[in-house]
Amino acid sequence: MQVYQGKSVYEGIVIGRIQIYQKKEQQVKPNYVTDVAGEHRRLEAAVNEVTTQLTKLHEKAKAELGEEDAAIFEMHLLLVKDADYLGFIEKVIQTQMVNAEYAVAVAAEYFIARFSAMDDEYMKERAADVRDVSDHLLAVLTSHSKGVPASMGRLCDALKADREPVIILADDLAPSQTMQLDREKVLAFVTVYGSVNSHTAILARTMNIPALVGTCLISGETEKGQSPHNVAGALWMDGHLAIVDGDSGCLYVDPDPKTRQCMEAKLAMQQEKKALLLALKGKETITLGGCKINICANIGGLSDLQQAVQNDAEGIGLFRSECLYLEKDTHPTEEEQFERYKTVVESMEGKQVIIRTLDIGADKQLNYIGLTKEDNPALGCRAIRACLKHPEIFKTQLRALFRAGVYGKLAVMYPMITSLQEVHQIKTLTEQVKAELAAEGIAYAHIEQGIMIETPAAAMISDLLAKEVDFFSIGTNDLAQYTLAIDRQNGELDEFYDARHEAVLRMIRMTVENAHKAGIRCGVCGELAADPAMTEFFLDIGVEELSVSPAMILPLRKVVREMER
Ligand code: PEP
Ligand code: MG
């Protein structure tokens, strides 16, 4: 048995097999080959296999989703047999005398760059098809090569295969990769890098998946400062049985019988505890002295919505709408967004749903929006700034939101506000959008509009901002990041990142006071809201709503119901 230590970002114990995920660029290396004809045969076999798989997928998609949605596979089938594409790969094998995998990767880069540079939007989007088909080919080629794990290709593709759920072991996972995962196929994440406050960590908590970050893949005692191996040095673990203990932060590979027994007992205890919490469903979140607070859910995708409903959320306090954008390789249309927002609002059956407008930038990057690379992305063109700089994207989202408002109790909130001017600009745009919808005869609702208080600037002018909006929601993750000047992505600084720092607490208190003076309500939706040690503080200062990951709702309700005050 080997034991590795990481930092836990979400508790829970899972037992399962490891699947290593490496980024494509880390994996595809040129290997000089003497048997060029052999590489051509490998390529031909891979193309045939991918064709068979795609044909099956196409049939399945046609039956389950309909012709239109299945068309993507038709496109991929054409591409995998395209003469230019295959000819390019064959030429690279022939002239450079390299392995087929490398030739596929070179062809992918070439065609992706070519399509991306085209003016025509339709042709531009073909770059994503080249990436998908090339990853598919790489996945097949790699699964057939000796000694290399079948982990090539896009993570979600690997997980779509007919397999048991796995423990993902990766150097790092971007929020977009995390979002594309099929939760049913993932037992836990373990990453070498990453911080406990990153969005990937938050998504793991929201998805109710045990996760470790900053995991040192050097077994036994580690020297301080010793750099962790990355997964390239741990390929042998692929497919091995392992246990992730999200409480202690340990990863056990090939656990011995005693460890397994002990972990199984711990797991049974956790499940018992969870079952007891279910008795709190349908009960009020109120202290023994009669002090009430709403506990709502933070969600990203539809599976989180299900979790929110199952855990008896009193509303959705934060729907991270960027998750819809991160799930995709192209911009979600107004119709797609409208359908998603409508589903969320209708599923909550009259309870309030707060949808946050697109919060991209920093670690949440979207290739198709074309944000420029920045030296300090956390201080860069993110969230509301990106939306105000791309009004066409913002207005599409606003149209979908106002339309969805007709179907339930929807409110919208804007992230990363720092000034009154931004709020005024937003108001101008929302008025324009409503006027356009009215002129087109499309039904829309006048929904409540709030802002996130997650920058020190917003907290400091919260008295002025409170006069302009219907509610505040405090984002303690970013508020701590910007107040303490600590990059929340930097795992090396986790020990300095303290969301309970007095400076942060003073800003929270001040924001709530200013909200109440102006007669508006104030919630908290950052991770601090789920910290039971803070619940009393939030009740004392009069916070009306805590919004937390769905799995934290019932534990927090228990804390509140046992309070004397
Ligand atoms: C926050 O900053 O506290 C917040 C809720 O937003 P996010 O974590 O998505 O940045
Ligand atoms: Mg934030």
Residues near 516 by beta carbon (within 8 Å), at least 6 away in sequence: 522, 542
Q: Where are the beta strands (DSSP E) in 492-544?
A: 521-524
Please give the DSSP secondary-structure letter assigned to residue 282. T
CB 458 within 8 A of CB 417: yes
Residue 467, number of CB atoms within 10 A of its CB: 13
CB 4 within 8 A of CB 212: no
- Residue 134 CA to residue 111 CA, distance in Å, equals 10
CB 188 within 8 A of CB 242: no
**Smallest CA separation from ligand 1 atom 3, residue:** 475
Q: Which CATH class is domain 36-150?
A: mainly alpha
In the block, residue with structure tokens 């089938």 = 77
- Print pLDDT tens along the chain (565 aa): 999 999 999 989 999 999 988 765 556 777 888 999 999 999 999 999 989 988 887 887 787 667 876 787 888 899 999 999 999 999 999 988 999 998 998 898 889 888 878 888 778 778 878 887 888 888 788 765 433 333 334 455 555 555 689 999 998 887 767 776 778 889 999 999 888 988 888 888 888 899 999 998 876 544 444 546 677 778 788 889 999 999 999 999 999 999 999 999 999 999 999 899 999 999 999 999 999 999 999 999 888 999 999 999 999 999 999 999 988 878 899 999 999 999 999 999 999 999 999 999 888 888 777 777 788 999 999 999 999 999 999 999 999 999 999 999 999 999 999 999 999 999 999 999 999 999 999 999 999 999 999 999 999 999 999 999 999 999 999 999 999 999 999 999 999 999 999 999 999 999 999 999 999 999 999 999 999 999 999 999 999 999 999 999 999 999 999 999 8
Instruction: Indicate the pairing of strand 250-253 with strand 2-5.
Output: antiparallel
Task: Give the 3-state secondary structure of residue 229.
Answer: coil
Residues near 123 by beta carbon (within 8 Å), at least 6 away in sequence: 115
CA of 479 to the centre of ligand 2 (A): 8
- Farthest CA pair distance, the chain: 80
Atom of ligand 1 nearest to the CA of 528: 3
- Residue 357 CA to residue 148 CA, distance in Å, equals 42
Would you call 323 a catalytic residue per the annotation? Answer: no
What was the pLDDT predicted at 65?
67
Would you call 229 a catalytic residue per the annotation? Answer: no
Give the residue from 268, 225, 231 showing the smallest Cα distance to 251: 231
In short, whether 454's Cβ falls inside 6 Å of ligand 1 is yes
Q: Left if phi > 0, otherwise alpha if psi is -120 to 50, otherwise beta: which for 173?
A: beta
CA of 89 to the centre of ligand 1 (A): 44
Helices (H) and strands (E) in the chain, counts: 22, 16
Please give the DSSP secondary-structure letter assigned to residue 470. S
CB 53 within 8 A of CB 162: no
C-alpha distances (whole Å) from 58 to each of 48, 65, 76, 199, 327 are 15, 10, 10, 34, 20
Atom of ligand 1 nearest to the CA of 476: 3
In short, whether 475's Cβ falls inside 6 Å of ligand 1 is yes
Catalytic choice (199, 296, 323, 522): 199
- Residue 363 CA to residue 489 CA, distance in Å, equals 8
Give the residue from 329, 227, 238, 272 showing the smallest Cα distance to 16: 238
Return the structure tokens found at 298: 């933070």
- pTM score over 0.85: no
The residue extents of the domains of the chain are 2-24+151-267, 36-150, 290-561
Q: What are phi and psi of 284, to 5 degrees?
A: -75, 150
In the block, residue with structure tokens 């039904």 = 443
CA of 454 to the centre of ligand 2 (A): 6
Give the residue from 209, 208, 227 showing the smallest Cα distance to 218: 227
What was the pLDDT predicted at 180?
67
CA of 47 to the centre of ligand 2 (A): 44
Write b or e for each residue in 360-390: b if 16 or more Cβ atoms lie within 10 A of its Cβ, otherwise e.
Answer: bbbbbbbeeeebeeeeebbeebbbbbbbbeb
Q: Which CATH class is domain 2-24+151-267?
A: alpha beta
In short, whether 356's Cβ falls inside 6 Å of ligand 1 is no
CB 457 within 8 A of CB 510: no
CA quadruple 457, 459, 462, 466: dihedral, nearest 10: 110
Q: Which long-range contacts (CB under 8 A, 24 or more apart) does 304-311 make?
A: 304/206, 304/207, 304/550, 305/343, 305/344, 305/347, 307/208, 307/550, 307/551, 308/348, 308/550, 308/553, 309/347, 309/348, 310/550, 311/281, 311/550, 311/551, 311/553, 311/554
**Smallest CA separation from ligand 1 atom 1, residue:** 475
Ligand nearest to the CA of 527: 1
What was the pLDDT predicted at 161?
54
Atom of ligand 1 nearest to the CA of 415: 6
- The continuous run of DSSP H or E covering 177 comes out as helix 175-179
Catalytic choice (250, 296, 387, 525): 525
Name the amino acid, one letter, at 62: K
CB 354 within 8 A of CB 413: yes
Order the strands of the 241-245 sheet from edge to edge: 2-5, 250-253, 241-245, 13-21, 166-170, 186-191, 211-213, 7-10
In short, whether 132's Cβ falls inside 6 Å of ligand 1 is no
Return the structure tokens found at 325: 């954008």
C-alpha distances (whole Å) from 464 to each of 377, 458, 476 are 28, 9, 20
**Smallest CA separation from ligand 1 atom 10, residue:** 478
Q: Which architecture does CATH list for 290-561?
A: Alpha-Beta Barrel (3.20)
